[in-house]
Amino acid sequence: MPKIKPSHDLQPFHTFGTSATAEFLAEAGTIEDVIELSEHATAEQLKLTILGGGSNVLFTKDVRGLVLLNRITGIDLVGEDDHHFYVRAGAGEVWHDFVEKCISEGWAGVENLALIPGMVGASPMQNIGAYGIEIESVFDHLIAVHLPTGELHQFDKRDCQFGYRESVFKRKFKGQYVICYVQYKLRKKPDFNTSYGAIQQELEKQGVSDLSLRAVADAVIAIRQSKLPDPKEIGNAGSFFKNPVVDQDTFNAIAEEHPELPNYPAPKGKVKLAAGWLIDQSGWKGFREGDFGVHDRQALVLVNHGNAHGREIFDLSKRILKDVEEKFGVKLEREVNIL
């Protein structure tokens, strides 16, 4: 059984850098560790909270029960066919290290997702996405421990019910599974996607004429570094809200007054708007009060300048929600998991 540490500081284990304490904390390095810890939590009636890299959570209070840090490692090529490599990764592998390994091995499909913080295990949780790619496009299946029974269950792509920043693990099965391994189906021949945002521009700036996995990842890394705050320097969890999907009438009403409104086509004739633009236009960009605020280069990112409390950041998110709804009639939804 892994060591269970009482009353443990959580600050080093998440990227907002706010202070919070776990009643108990333990690391799981294997599936057996996960099962033993979950049995222990059930026997002792402790609530179990799973954490990977802590880059998509906001602690608003101390955590009662047991925090399980998933540290299952390993990246293995487990099969191939004419067009694909099948690669299995432990949930506790750092996501960007996994991307780097894929680039060096020539396994294509995750290069646009370079530099997303966090770990492999969380990648299907919210179907991570950036620069025109979502994880579902390379997802094969995952293996997870079902907490109520301790059984191992396999989830194929359809079972995960992926959507924009969504999966079954955030909805119907919330809190019921610990993801232990994720298998990806990566391409032998790259299918480069450079049409999104500023990738093409960045490639030109870097003088790239021959596309490669390395060149695309480097362009994405450069764009990300120019826009998003590094959590090592300033506490944050990336986009705090999702980009809202609205109906055509709502879009038309806003666009009439603001023709420059950034928008993207969404399924069922709906329109996705840029939450960062809505928050920016509501006057919040660069806002600071005490140590909490809104990033000055990307209004979708709420930040901790030092000693902010999670509760202060949560309350700020409520003020922003209210303001955007009053100004534009659009209700934002938080993307970060509030604990």
Residues engaged in binding ligand FAD (CB under 6 A):
15, 50-57, 70, 91, 116-119, 121-123, 125-126, 128-130, 177-179, 228, 231, 236-238, 337
280 binds ligand EPU (CB under 6 A): yes
What SS3 class is residue 42? helix
Please confirm, yes or no, whether 319 is among the known catalytic residues: no
227 binds, among ligand EPU, ligand FAD, none (CB under 5 to 8 A by kind): ligand EPU
Residue 50-89 contact track with ligand EPU, rule CB under 6 A, x = bound: ----------------------------------------
CA distances from 298 to 57, 120, 206, 227, 234 (A): 18, 25, 23, 7, 13
Best CA proximity match to 239, nearest among 249, 229, 248: 229
- Count of CB atoms situated within 10 Å of the CB of 297: 12
Please confirm, yes or no, whether 111 is among the known catalytic residues: no
DSSP state of 5: E
Please confirm, yes or no, whether 282 is among the known catalytic residues: no
Q: Which is nearer to ligand EPU, 53 or 238 (CB)?
A: 238
**Pure H helices in 44-183:** 95-105, 157-160
242 binds, among ligand EPU, ligand FAD, none (CB under 5 to 8 A by kind): ligand EPU
277 binds ligand EPU (CB under 6 A): yes
Q: Which of 71, 88, 111, 165 is catalytic?
A: 165
Helix axes 213-227, 95-105, angle to 10 degrees: 150
Q: Are 135 and 113 in contact (CB under 8 A)?
A: yes
CA distance 307 to 290: 9
123 binds ligand EPU (CB under 6 A): no
CA distance 107 to 142: 18
283 binds ligand EPU (CB under 6 A): no
Q: Which is nearer to ligand FAD, 243 or 254 (CB)?
A: 243
Q: Would you name the residues annotated as active-site residues? A: 165, 239, 335
Residues engaged in binding ligand EPU (CB under 6 A): 130-131, 197, 227, 238-239, 242-243, 262, 274, 276-277, 280, 285, 298-300, 335
